[in-house]
């Protein structure tokens, strides 16, 4: 499997020049190897030892993988810094993720509360995949996307919240404008400002009514 991991790096990263360079300098690879050791202890209920290994790996690599996560073969973490993979994550074979990716929970579920990523999926830089959802085979998550619902196989998802824009090679949504993404905070502020303006108008009318009655 170690040989297979090194070959995966050469397949995925054109910057890889030699096996010794890959073995000594690729933090994503180190994180995967450390996770395999931690997962070995986790499955045998040596939870404290598993967590210690996980935290040491996090300190040295910048990648946090919970010992309980299930990860398939030929998993590739490119650059790696800031990657977080939760306890109940399940990752298939030939999956690639980039730096800053979070495979996390929403904080509300119990039991299976982290994503399942099927074979050959790709999750780009800074994407957040949250909750007990599934990313289908051969699907791609765009950089910076926030995915909160299931992604069908052979799909491309972008945006906040994530929307399927291509499925089975066919464009699904043509009107997505990355310069005009939804902004729920700004929408709420506009609503509050409208309510304040309405209250001011009501107060002004009441003051006018009082002035008329007193005069």
- Mean pLDDT in order along the chain per 10 residues (215 residues): 87 85 88 94 93 93 92 88 90 91 81 90 90 90 89 87 78 57 72 91 87 75
Domain 2-171 adopts which CATH fold?
Answer: UDP N-Acetylglucosamine Acyltransferase; domain 1 (2.160.10)
According to the 3-state scheme, what is the secondary structure of 136-205? CCCCEECCCCEECCCECCCEEEECCCCEEEEECCEECCCCCCCCCCCCHHHHHHHHHHHHHHHHHHHHHH
> What's residue 181's pLDDT?
54
Distance CA 55, CA 27 (A): 14
Cβ-count burial 147-183 (b if 16+ within 10 Å, e if not): beeebebbbbbbbbebbbbbbeeeeeeeeeeeeeeee
Residue spans of the domains in the chain: they are 2-171, 183-215
Q: Is the alpha carbon torsion for 147, 149, 155, 161 positive or negative? A: negative
> What's residue 43's pLDDT?
92
């Amino acid at each position: 499997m170690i040989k297979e991991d090194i070959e995966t790096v050469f397949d995925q990263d054109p910057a890889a020049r030699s096996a010794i360079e890959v073995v000594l300098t690729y933090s994503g690879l180190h994180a995967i190897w450390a996770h395999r050791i931690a997962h070995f202890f986790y499955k045998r209920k040596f939870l404290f030892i598993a967590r210690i290994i996980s935290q040491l790996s996090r300190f040295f690599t910048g990648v946090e993988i919970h010992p309980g996560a299930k990860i398939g073969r030929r998993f590739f973490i490119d650059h790696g810094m800031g990657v977080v993979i939760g306890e109940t994550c399940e990752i298939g074979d030939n999956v690639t993720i980039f730096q800053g990716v979070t495979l996390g929970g929403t904080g509300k579920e119990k039991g299976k509360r982290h994503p399942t990523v099927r074979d050959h999926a790709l999750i780009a830089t800074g994407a957040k995949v949250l909750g007990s959802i599934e990313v289908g085979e051969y699907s791609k998550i765009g950089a910076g996307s926030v995915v909160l619902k299931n992604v069908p196989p052979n799909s491309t998802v972008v945006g906040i919240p994530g929307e399927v824009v291509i499925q089975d090679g066919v464009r699904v949504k043509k009107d997505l404008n990355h310069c005009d993404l939804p902004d729920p905070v700004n929408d709420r502020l506009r609503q509050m400002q409208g309510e304040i303006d309405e209250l001011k108008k009501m107060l002004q009318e009441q003051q006018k009514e009082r002035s008329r009655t007193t005069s």
